[in-house]
Structure 1
Amino acid sequence: MTEQASVSWPVLRQGSTGPDVTALQYLLRGARDQWRTLAADGVFGPATDSVVRGFQSIAGLTVDGAVGPTTWQRLTDGTTIGSTVREGDRNEYVKAAQTELLKHGDLKSAAQVDGVFGPDTDTATRRFQERVALAVDGVVGPATWRQLISRAGR
């Protein structure tokens, strides 16, 4: 098994906190306009639980409020419109990617979490991809999402 295949998605649920929760909240905000008001505060509280359950229901997943491998994969596998991001994109998915890149030390400042996939985010994405032995293309797609979310930050 390669190192890439061996990383496992974190399991988040009500009470979880941290940058992975913030990234999850941005991913959910990007999935549906009606969820855009969900706070991206890094705290998995009742509002996040409700939106996770709504996403799981719409996606045909088991509705349990826990964000494990199946929910993460559905959020980041490219089937959710906009979830694959690259230079030039501006959206909530970019904020999620930037949050994870900040967690890993590839972005240097929280001010860079602005939803604009510009040159700094492109450089940070490529740096991360090279460090974890992914194809270096500057695109945050399914493989890059998995590595960003599954790995502990620096």
Structure 2
Amino acid sequence: MFRTASRNTHRAPGRAVIDYRGLAAPVGKSLGGAAALGAMTAGAAIGGAAHAETGPIPTVKTLKGTAPSPAVAGTTARTAVLSIGSRGTSVSQLQSALNSRGASIAVDGRFGSATRQAVRDFQRANGLAVDGVAGTRTWAALNGSSSAPASSSSSGQSSSSSSSRPKLRIGARGSAVTDLQNLLRERGATFSATGYFGSSTNAAVRAFQSSVGLSVDGIVGPRTWAALGGSVGSSSGGSSGSSSGSSSSGSSSNGSSVSGSSIVEDARQQLGTRYVWGASKPGDSFDCSGLTQHVYKKNGISIPRTASAQVQAGRIIPRSEARPGDLVAFTAGNYGHIGIYVGNGTIIDAGTSKGKVVERSIWNAPHVFVTYR
């Protein structure tokens, strides 16, 4: 079947997505009743052909009376190309390996949407092509050392200190929670540092994990501590340093020099324009990302069409570094809404709540600041 973007989101229509799960072949059973994977499902076979990660498709058998091992140790599992719709021991091993890297999914031998998202999170965190297919390179990363951002994105001192910090989750209290909240506030969170890990802190942690490519579980473990103590976003240390050295919101990543005030003024010219999902018609109608793309284009900056793509193409920065003309993206719905930062906690955006382009205060919802400087 074909799926298109929902009409009540803030994204423009995208490519249709084909769901191959209806093509999955049934799983056979051995005489002893233990599940056996006789062949890859049709969904996995098609998924493997459509992506760069390929490998031999094995025949996996489970001996009578032998439970499948949760460890990713067998060469058969390491070379299996798995995608949504796949079933069997190899999928169970994949799920166990993902959980050991910070995911929190059921080990049920079924490659569903939760497993695909965990694969995508792991691929993003390890610099792999993010396609949700467990191929040879994803298996190699799962069988190698721990996730790259935990060691490479943080400095030596932060990686060593992060390993000694306690694991925190909702309900935790104490000075470590206060430290966590202060670090999150430096990254744009808007709550007070109370020392209690409640729902607001949990939402901020999940938003931060999503912004830096970690598994989004709301649990603050070594990798989340390391990312909080190191650089923010996906840019390298060199590019981050060069951009932070520029105090104005002037120079874009495209090489053009634009003032933030010019971006804000161009956005203000569209105040009152009605909101229409998928629209980008100056003076007539916009959706959220249509507005930001239009204004940036007028200022010589080329950015993608959808809100989530605009976040991915830019650089996430702490609130303290945000300048007028940067973008403010709200993390709910995989960055489902975006607007232009005016300064002093104010945003210009096109949204369903007001039904038109407005200038208003940033509301209390998890959000990040994105720059193209």
Q: TM-score, length-normalised on structure 2?
A: 0.22
1:6 maps onto 2:152 in alignment: yes
CA distance in 2, matches of 1:101, 1:86: 14
Unaligned stretches of 5+ residues in structure 2: 1-125, 128-147, 233-317, 320-373
Aligned to 2:230: 150
Give the letter aligned to residue 205 of structure 2.
T
For residue 102 of structure 1, what is the aligned residue in structure 2? Answer: 185
Q: Which residue of 1 aligns with 2:221?
A: 141
2:177 aligned partner, one-letter code = V
One-letter amino acid matched to 1:7: S
CA-CA distance at 1:134 after TM superposition: 0.3
**Structure with a larger share of its residues in strand:** 2
Q: Using CA pairs below 8 Å that are at least 6 residues apart, which structure has the higher relative contact order?
A: 1
Question: Cα distance, 1:90 vs. partner?
Answer: 0.2
**For 1:62-109, what per-residue CA distance to the aligned partner results, in whole angstroms no more than 9, with x for missing partners?**
xxxxxxx24x334321x55xx11110000111111101110000x204
Matched, 1:128 2:208: yes
**What's the C-alpha RMSD, in Å, of the aligned pairs?**
2.0
Q: TM-score, normalised by structure 1?
A: 0.51
Larger relative helix fraction: 1
Q: Which runs of 4+ in 1 moved over 6 A?
A: none
Structure-to-structure mapping, 1:83-102, within 5 angstroms: 83-102=166-185
Which residue, 159, 168, 172 being the options, matches 1:73? 159
Identity of counterpart residues, as a percentage? Answer: 33
Number of aligned residue pairs: give it: 88
The C-alpha deviation readout for 1:14-39, integer Å capped at 9, x for no partner, is xxxxxxxxxxxxxxxxxxxxxxxxxx
How many angstroms apart in 2 are the aligned matches of 1:99 and 1:84?
16
Q: Secondary structure at the match of 1:146?
A: helix
Contiguous gaps of at least 5 residues in structure 1: 10-68
- Residue by residue over 1:46-74, the C-alpha shift from the partner in whole angstroms, topping out at 9 and shown as x without a partner, is xxxxxxxxxxxxxxxxxxxxxxx24x334
| Conserved? CA contact 1:76–1:84, under 8 Å | no
